[in-house]
Amino acid sequence: MTVVERREIALVDLLDRLLAGGVVITGDLTLRIADVDLVRIDLNALISSVNEQVPSPWRELE
């Protein structure tokens, strides 16, 4: 095993790295019976941390 293969990363560190750069989640789900589409769900999500350089898209209501 090489050093890279043996390296363990804590879940907290992994989440910190993902949120620092941002994560885009995209997915499609279709419920179909007898070749008839009954339900279609499209998912598009952006998950990232919020700081002074990257402000929240939701401004606080005053």
pLDDT score recorded for residue 49: 73
Distance from C-alpha of 51 to C-alpha of 62, rounded to nearest angstrom: 20
Residue 46 pairs in a beta bridge with: 24
Q: Which of 1-10, 38-47, 50-59 has the highest mean pLDDT?
A: 38-47
Residue 38 lies in a domain: yes
- Write out the residue range of the structural domain in which residue 13 sits: 3-47
Task: Tell me what the pLDDT averaged over the chain comes to.
Answer: 77
Q: Determine how many CB atoms are found less than 10 A away from the CB of residue 48.
A: 13
Q: How many domains does the chain have?
A: 1
Split at pLDDT 50, 70, 90, the class of 3 is: low
Q: Is the pTM of this model over 0.75?
A: no
Residue 54, domain member (yes or no): no
Q: What average pLDDT does range 37-51 have in this prediction?
A: 84
In-domain check, residue 55: no
pLDDT score recorded for residue 56: 67
| Residues contacting residue 28 through CB under 8 Å, at least 6 positions apart | 40, 41, 42, 43
Q: Is residue 13 part of a domain?
A: yes
- Residue 35 placed within a domain: yes
